[in-house]
Amino acid sequence: MFKRVVVTGMGAVTPLGNNVQAFWQNALAGKSGAAKITHFDASLFRTQFACEVKGFIPAELFDRADIKRTDLFTQYAFAATDEAIKDSGFDVEKMDPFDIGVIWGTGQGGMQTFEEQVTEYAKGDGHPRFNPFFVPKFLTNMASGMISIRNGFMGINYTPISACATSNTALMDAFTYIRIGKAKIIVSGGSEAPITPASIGGFSTMKAMSHRNDDPAHASRPFDVDRDGFIMGEGAGALILEEYEHAVKRGAKIYAEIVGAAMTADAYHMTATHPEGKGAAKAMSLALEEAGITINDVDYLNMHATSTPVGDLSEINALLSLTNGQTTHMQIGATKSMTGHLLGAAGAVEAILSIKAIENQVLPPTINTQNLDPAIPSGLHIVPNHAIDHEVNIAMSNTFGFGGHNGIVVFKKV
C-alpha cells in the first residue's frame, strides 16, 4: 500500500523576492523580475538582461566558512531550504536522521565558480594555481550534500539532472521514495545561478533567449505572436515533502498533497521539443493516471511556456491532444513571464506558486501576452495579465528540458 505524500514547508529565493511571502505577493502583483544584467558587463552580448535575484547578501546569511566553500547556487539552496525547514517545523532531534533525506536538483551547478577558476588560469602564467574548493564548489551534487551536512540529515541524498525538468524530477523522486516507505521527510527542490558570461553567451548563440534589450520587463511573452525567446533567471525553490501520517501525527501544516508525477522522453531533438508534444502529452497523461483523475479535473496548469516560438506551441499541442481539442474550465498560466526561466530550479519555484494558488484560491497572472498567437485556439483560458480568483483543487505543473526530458507533477488540495 502506497503512503500519501504532502508538502509541509516551502522556501524561495527568486527574482521576485527572497522568501515565499514576498515571491507570492510580487507574483500576484504581476511584477517582472527582468532588468539589465548586473552580475557582469553584458554590454557586448546579444542578450543583455536577465531575471536576477535582488538584495541577496550571503555575508548577512551565512558564516565566512560556508561562503568560502560554496558556489552561489548552493548559497541560494541554503537560504531556500533554511526557510522551508523552519516553515515545516519538524524537529530533527526527535527523528531518526536516516529518515530525513535530500533530493536536490540543479541543471548547471557551480557555473560561476567554474568560469572564474578557468578564466584565472587562462590569464595566468600557465602554472596550475586553483582554489582547493574549486571542484567541490562546482560539483552539481554539492548542494544536496551541503544541505545534509548543514542540518544533519542522513537519509537518501543525491542530485538528479534533467536540464530544465530537473526540479520536477527531484520532486517526483522524493514523492516516490516516501510513497514506498524509504523516508519520512525529504527536502527537495532545486537551485541555479546561471547568469554568467559563458551561460548567457551560450544560450544567446543558440538564439534561445529574447533580445529585447530596450524593454526587458516585457520580453518574456508566453503565447504571444511576437515572442522571441526566454529570459534567464536564477534562484532556488525548496519544498518539504513528508509522509502524510507522520505530518498529521506531529500536527504539521499541510499545504497540499502530491498525487501524481511522471517523466517521459521526446526522443526527438537535442534542444527542440517535439512539435506535436507527444512526449509531453504522455507525461501529463501518466501523471494524471497515477493521480486517478483526468485532464478535465485539473483547475490550474502552470505551463513550462518559456516564450520560445516552437516550445510554447508544442506544449499547447500536447494539451489539446489530451482534451481532444475541446476547452475545459482549466485555467492556463505561465509564470515564467515574471520570473524568467530558472532552468533546473524552474519546477521548484513554479510548484510553490501552484501550491500557493491552491492555498489561496487565486491564480498569479501571465503578463505580457498582448496578442495571442493565432495558432493557439482562442477558447483556451489563459490567465490574463492580472491575478484572478479561481477555485483550485487540482494544480499541475509542467517542465521540459534539453535532451527531450518531460517532467510533470500534480498537486491536490487536502
Mean pLDDT of all residues in 127-142: 94
- Rounded Cα distance between 158 and 102, Å, is 7
Does 327 have pLDDT greater than 80?
Answer: no
Please indicate, yes or no, whether residues 311 and 196 belong to a single structural domain of this protein. no
Give me the catalytic one of 246, 274, 341, 405: 341
Check whether residue 76 and residue 190 sit in a common domain.
Answer: yes
Residues near 10 by beta carbon (within 8 Å), at least 6 away in sequence: 20, 83, 84, 87, 237, 238, 239, 240, 255, 352, 355
Do 213 and 334 lie in one domain? The reply is: no
Q: Are residues 178 and 145 in the same domain?
A: yes
pLDDT reading at 401 higher than 80: yes
Q: Tell me, what's the pLDDT at 124?
A: 87
Beta-bridged to residue 240, according to DSSP, are 9, 187
Catalytically annotated residue among 164, 246, 274, 405: 164
Give the residue from 249, 271, 290 where a domain finishes.
249
Percent of the chain with pLDDT over 70: 100
Question: 100 and 129, same structural domain?
Answer: yes
Q: What is the CATH number of the domain that holds 71?
A: 3.40.47.10
Residue type at position 156: I
Of the residues 227, 249, 271, which one is the last residue of a structural domain?
249
164 catalytically annotated: yes
Name the grid cell of 85.
525547514
Q: CA-CA distance, 325 to 330, in Å (whole number)? A: 13
Within a domain: 254: no
Asked if residue 255 is part of any domain, the answer here is no
Out of 246, 274, 304, 405, the active site residue is 304
Question: Residue 193 corresponds to which cell in the numbers above?
Answer: 545561478
pLDDT at 370: 94
pLDDT by residue (tens digit) across 145-200?
999 999 999 999 999 999 999 999 999 999 999 999 999 999 999 999 999 999 99
**Any catalytic annotation for residue 51?**
no
Does 293 map to a domain?
yes
Is the pLDDT at 125 greater than 90? The verdict is: no
Compute the mean pLDDT over every residue in the chain, rounded to the nearest whole number: 96
* pLDDT score of 144: 98
What pLDDT score was predicted for residue 329?
87
User: How many domains is the chain built from?
Assistant: 2
In a domain, 405, yes or no: yes
Same domain, 234 and 376: no
What is the extent of the structural domain holding 295? 261-412
265 within 8 A of 404, measured Cβ to Cβ: yes
The 185-192 sheet, strands edge to edge: 157-158, 100-105, 185-192, 235-243, 5-13, 256-265, 405-412, 394-401, 300-302, 331-333, 381-382
Q: Is the domain of 239 the same as that of 295?
A: no
- The CB density around residue 29, as the number of other CB atoms within 10 Å, is 13
Query: pLDDT grade, residue 379 (50/70/90)?
Result: confident
Asked if the model's pLDDT at residue 378 lies above 90, the reply is no
Shared-domain flag, residues 238 and 143: yes
What are the residues whose beta carbons fall under 8 Å from the beta carbon of 120, sequence distance 6 or more?
129
Share of the chain above pLDDT 90, in %: 95
Residue that terminates a domain, selected from 203, 225, 249: 249
User: How does residue 373 score in pLDDT terms, banded at 50, 70 and 90?
Assistant: very high
**Dihedral, CA atoms, 206, 105, 52, 353, nearest 10 degrees?**
110
Return the bridge partners of 270, or none.
Answer: none
